[in-house]
Amino acid sequence: MKLVYRVTPKQRLIIVEHALKQMQAFAQHRSDDREAGGVLLGRHLLDSRDVVIDEVSTPQSSDRRSRYGFFRSSTHQALARQRWLEESSTSAYLGLWHTHPERDPTPSGVDQRDWKQAVAGDTYEGDRLFFPIVGTHCIRIWTLSRRGTYRELKLESKNAKTKSNA
């Protein structure tokens, strides 16, 4: 299954099955599960304005994790840089993801400050970064542009590969 979100009238964000499963594996279903997160890696398609998330970094031993908090270590940046080099400069940094122990996740003030810091200070292609939060029953995604435009993306479709994934 892949998820497709509408970014602008002419742009979509596509999360492929592998990346989706990587994030969902860390959903906080049990009361002792800790928040997790990482960076989004993918590509800007040449023949359209669409953006594809192909993979994500997963929690590292150097991260600080608790039930209601997550601090992403610099190891994630090193992993993204390594991937960029391995992929002949075609793998792009697209944003940050993390989990919340909520059925329907919403960003905290800490999350929003972290996102503003990423948009202002990180190096990336394009006009915006993406910020999925994985809840216990759904994934919600926000975007923040270099101009400061902040909004939640709406799910356009779920494309199932098999009937059992629908």
pLDDT at 160: 54
Per the annotation, the verdict on 35 as an active-site residue is yes
Query: Scanning the structure block, which residue is given the tokens 């075609």?
Result: 90
- Give me the long-range contacts of 69-76 (CB less than 8 A, separation at least 24): 69/35, 69/110, 70/34, 70/35, 70/36, 70/37, 70/98, 70/99, 72/37, 72/38, 72/39, 72/96, 72/98, 76/38, 76/39
Is the pLDDT at 24 greater than 90? The verdict is yes
pLDDT at 106: 96
Instruction: Over range 46-52, report the average pLDDT.
Output: 91
Q: Give the pair of three-digit tokens for residue 9.
A: 């009238």
**pTM score, whole prediction:** 0.87
Over residues 105-134, the pLDDT tens digits come to 999 999 999 999 999 998 888 899 999 999
Q: Which of 17, 35, 55, 87 is catalytic?
A: 35
Q: Give the pair of three-digit tokens for residue 89.
A: 């400069």
- Give the Å distances, CA to CA, from 115 to 98, 108, 156: 12, 11, 23
pLDDT at 162: 37
pLDDT at 76: 63
Lowest mean pLDDT among 4-8, 75-79, 109-113: 75-79
Is the pLDDT at 165 greater than 80? The verdict is no
C-alpha to C-alpha distance for 156 and 53, rounded to whole angstroms? 15
pLDDT at 122: 87
